Structure 1
Amino acid sequence: MIGYSKLGLYFASSLSILSMITQGAFAQSKASGSIAASPTITTAQINATIEPQATPVTNTQIAQAASSNWGFQDRTAGMTTSKDPVTSASQLADVQPTDWAFHSLQALIERYGCIAGYPKRTYKGNQALTRYEFAAGLNACLRSLVERIEVLTPNDLTTLRRLQENFVAELALLRGRVDSLEVRTTELEANQFSTTTKLTGQAIFAVTGGGFSGERIIAPTGVEIADEDPNSTFIYRASLTFNTSFQGTDLLQIRLVTGSDGSDDNAAGLLEPNFASVLDFSVPGQNGQFGLGRLYYTFTPVKDFALTVGSAILATDYVDRNSYANNSAKDFSTQALINNFILLPTPAGAGAVIDWNPGAGPFSIRGVYVAGNAGRATAGSNAGDGGFIGGPSAPELLFPALGALGDQGGLFGAPHQGFVELEYALSNKFAFRLQYSGGQIFGSFFNGVGANFELALSQQLAVFGRYGYAVYNDSSVGDLRPQYWMAGISLQNLFVPGAVAGIAAGQPQIEGKVGDATQTNFEAFYNFPLNDDIKVTPLVQVITDAGNQGSNGTIYTGTLRTVFSF
């Protein structure tokens, strides 16, 4: 049930609108000669609209209902009659001008005279209202309104009809213009996107140096790599990325990349070039020459399914990702710590990618195919065209017999690889990925499986890791069964908001047939932002048993990396 105060507010709002229609709007139309077109209005039609259309309730039904526990007769018996009407809200002793419904109650009393009070001039505005009381009050107010409507004269109705006829053409024209405007608005809403190209850029400056203990460093085959510490170097990489969308849901990306001297411009890459100890950001670009780093087009042919095709694709942009160890401009720089080394021997080239996330749920399925020499119609000795694209690569020294002649080139010839990944990601706190990789490199087939996980223990602390097992046939030392692992921790917002710190270790090539030991890589870094666009990162690398050779001394490097983003 509702209270009397709310009843007054409901009546006042409804009757004010009806009054405006029948009196105020009509008076204005006579003065200005303007009124909306509508069917011819008569007093009988107005009365018919207000009078109830449903089957009326009989007196017998009312009497039967009143004798029940509704309390209608008891509640209304004490109300004042029409002989002692209320003419002002101020006459009611328990109604104050500060009451929230005072003005609505006052309007009903003064305009329509359809509100009565209890004895002793009380209104009891907070008392509950039965449906019968509501019906009685509504009937009184509607009858008052009907009486006001019936004062319309035949001349008034004639004026209304004449105004309708005079403005039929104008109103029809107005309706046509409104319809046209609605059509144009709908078209604009459906085609509001325009082709847009956005430019982003990144520049990485790094000062790096290092050395090793012992007398010399040798490769897995026993060939000497260095007998003295390399020079400290200042290295760089710069990229310009053009992102274009034609429909708002697609992406054409073109990236131009340049760099200093590839993997030979840093101590880690020079002293241990075989098992991914190189600084990853130094790989793309050669001696200041600009090259094509990315060229692909991504679109969504169906909901939750993305398809990418391109001539310059890096598989690690789509698979084997990890929130804490995957970006050499943000977190770790050692290549063996940011991707699964044995599952991605040839990740750069031309190809296609699918990414299916059913219902935008926690499960995703991704597939990648890339061919390193897709643009070559004949066989060649180059292991791939990924010099400007980046990513890890298999050590050619393990396949000397086939390395020169084994790569046929073309879209389906060696080197090529496929990669399939099933991911389960529970919000942004946990993700687990199962992986399969297979293909052909240096004329030799390989297959591998792996796993990748990340877990945020809190907003500041996370752990992560990777594992891989692969089979490489026909190497210079026979069929290989290498294993790979890495693991680490990440600290967010350490000392400074937005700062990231991490430490990780890994073994990229666990294989007894290669060398007499197992290489282990360590890295620690601290990335702190000077602002949103400039971030400085000191990092340290330690490499033991480099190249799986126990006679090699420990390699130490230090790097100061600065990243500019715009």
Structure 2
Amino acid sequence: MSEAPSGDQITSVDELSDVQPSDWAFKALQSLIERYACIAGYNSNFRGNRAITRYEFAAGLNTCFNNIIQFMSSATDGSVKTKELTTLKKLQEEFGTELAILQEQVDTLQAHTAGLESQQFSTTTKLQGQVIMSVNAGGFDGKRITDSNGRELADTNPNPTVIYRAGVDLNTSFHGTDLLKIRVETGSGGALDNAAGVLEPNFGSSLDYSVKPPVDRDMVIGRLYYTFRPSSDFIVSIGPDIRATDYLDRNSYANRSFLDFSTQPFVNNFILFPVSGPASGGAVDWKPGQGAFALRAVYAVADAANPGNTGRITGASSFSRLLYPNSPGGERGLFGDSYQGTMEIEYSPTKNFALRLQYSGGEVFSNRFDVVGANFELTLGTQFGIFGRYGYSRFDNTVFGDIEPNYWMAGVSLRDLFQEGAILGVAVGQPFIDSNIGDATQTSLEAFYNYPLSQNIRITPSVQVITNAGNQDSNGDIVTSTLRTVFSF
């Protein structure tokens, strides 16, 4: 290889308008090309039969340098000699100005290309659907079942039932990073189409996918909102038909009633969402720098489309109606009754652990409430997980007085048992602990085994046991079983 002469033996390369075949730089790069074939696409420029411009030379030098670096990363025998690396460094110094201009042009071209790609995105709508079909049966010990106020609910076991819920999502994106969701869905008989919903209607024992609107075969809009990203780590959702539970209190093991647990105390923190049904409002999700912390917030109002103070307030939870059975509610609208604002901070340093701390406050049926909660999950190994939730709250002016109910649940989950993709889950909890309501504390237990028949079909047998239903010591144990089949497409 030709070496760069020292001192004043030749004119510096940066003083030449073109690079001549006789220049040391030309010969040095030509030697590198012959040894490493590092710029095969430029061979015609470096055959030595003509001069080339400094920018042609810089382009060739840049390509050769990048390919040699790539070659070095895979070579283990020291094939690239120190002398050749010194020559490359000298060439980069001599052509520093041209290399900088070349990089600037590449950056500009990439920016223009990205701009064209974003402008050429066409509006896209994707269709997603889900059908849930279940068979449910159950009964109780003793002569009768009473509610939290002592009123008789049943003196015979409910008949077995067939339950369904079907929905179709239209997911539309206008520029690739946003989402307009329109969900059309229908369902069967609501809280009264399953045994636990008949026998214990107030503390979340009904199947979650049954009790939530729509019910009674009505075909309605189930979600309507728009989501966009002001930045890569900040998400905003707004809409006239949202659910606070879609954005907060998530848990990898206990959160989706079509996949894991079916009853409300195990799907979400039961007392954190006095407004748990259809609502208008917005949500934000901020994960700074995609790091370990995330901050989320939701504002949800149950009757935003009503400018007055008449009519039934929809969207309130089952226990809210127990606490305020005769309240008509106050002024409605976007900032009226009933509403809640909820915040959550999540710490998840690894994919195997997450801790979420929560606060929810607002008014339900014109009465103040405040709730704090916690939610955690821990994965041990690749298949086993433990999880739990806790809540403490205050509700003013209920029919039971000013009360401060607690809530907790805990469970375990095992993945891939007997079949890849299968899920086994067991959880126990007490949805509403308050000595002012009843003379005991209800305890709920649920166990399920979710078995995938195919990528799109899952079948799940589950068992539910309830003791001291409705916080009444006189109530015998309630036992129900459900066979759930879910079709996703």
Q: TM-score range by the shorter chain?
A: 0.7 to 0.9
Distance verdict in 2 for CA 1:534–1:25, change over 3 Å: farther
Q: Which amino acid aligns with 2:325?
A: P
TM-score, normalised relative to structure 1:
0.68
Indicate the SS of the match to 1:274: coil
2:201 corresponds in structure 1 to: 273
Is the 2:118–2:175 Cα contact (8 Å) retained in structure 1? no
Q: Deviations over 1:160-206 (max 9, x none)?
A: xxxxxxxxxxxxxxxxxxxxx99996653342321101000000000
Q: Identify the match of residue 288 of structure 1 among 206, 212, 217.
A: 217
Q: Which of the numbers 256, 260, 278 marks the counterpart of 1:327?
A: 256
Secondary structure, counterpart of 2:198 in structure 1: helix
Match of 1:400, SS state, is coil
Match of 2:272 among 336, 343, 346: 343
Q: Does 1:243 align with 2:166?
A: no
Q: TM-score, normalised by structure 2?
A: 0.78
Match 1:370 to one of 297, 300, 319:
300
Residues 520/191 of structure 1: CA separation in 2 closer, same or farther (3 Å cut): same
> Could you tell me which residue of structure 2 aligns to residue 534 of structure 1?
457
Cα distance, 1:271 vs structure 2:
0.7
In the superposition, relative to structure 1, how do residues 200 and 130 fare at CA in structure 2: closer, same or farther (>3 Å)? closer
Structure-1 separation of matches of 2:186 and 2:411: 31
Q: How does 1:463-502 map to 2 (within 5 A)?
A: 463-502=386-425
Give the CA deviation at 1:379: 1.1
Letter in 2 for 1:481: E
The Cα of 1:237 is off from its aligned counterpart by 0.2
Q: Given the alignment, which residue of 113, 123, 131 partners 1:203?
A: 131
CA contact (8 A) 1:255 1:294 kept: yes
2:319 match: secondary structure = coil
Q: Does 1:394 align with 2:322?
A: no
By how many angstroms is 1:399 displaced? Answer: 1.7
Q: Tell whether 2:382 aligns with 1:459.
A: yes
Q: Secondary structure at the match of 1:412?
A: coil
Task: Name structure 1 gaps, 5 residues minimum.
Answer: 27-36, 40-125, 136-180, 387-391
* SS of alignment partner, residue 421 of structure 1: strand
1:20-419 to structure 2, matched below 5 A, reads: 188-283=116-211, 284-348=213-277, 349-385=279-315, 392-401=317-326, 403-404=327-328, 406-419=329-342
- Name the aligned partner's letter for residue 328 of structure 1: S
Q: Return the alpha-carbon distance in structure 1 between the equivalents of residues 198 and 470 of structure 2.
A: 12
Q: Closer, same or farther in 2 for the Cα pair 1:223/1:248, shift >3 Å?
A: same
How far apart are the structure 2 equivalents of 1:248 and 1:182? Answer: 19
Question: Aligned-pair distance for 1:497?
Answer: 0.3
Q: For 2:81 and 2:383, locate their aligned partners in 1 and report how far apart those are by CA, in whole Å.
A: 59
Look up the SS of the partner of 1:297 in the other structure. strand
> C-alpha deviations, 1:273-300, integer Å up to 9, x for none?
0000010011232221111111001111
Deviation at 1:337, TM superposition (A): 1.0
2:271 is paired with a residue whose SS is coil
- Residue 305 of structure 1: how far off its partner (Å): 1.3
Residues of 1 paired with 2:111 and 2:271: CA distance?
58
Q: Is the 8 Å Cα contact of residues 369 and 418 (structure 1) preserved in structure 2?
A: yes
Structure 2: distance between partners of 1:216 and 1:436: 38
Q: Which structure would you say has the larger Rg? A: 1
Q: Which amino acid aligns with 1:204?
A: I
Distance 1:360 1:547, change over 3 A: same
Change (3 A) 1:398 1:186: closer
Matching residue within 462, 468, 474 for 1:545: 468
Q: Which runs of 4+ in 1 moved over 2 A?
A: 6-26, 128-132, 181-192, 392-395
Equivalent residue number for residue 138 of structure 1: none
**For residues 185 and 322 of structure 1, do their structure 2 counterparts lie closer, same or farther at Cα, with a shift above 3 Å needed?**
closer
**Structure with the bigger percentage of strand:** 2
Relative to structure 1, the CA distance from residue 7 to residue 342 in structure 2 (aligned partners, 3 Å threshold; closer, same or farther) is closer
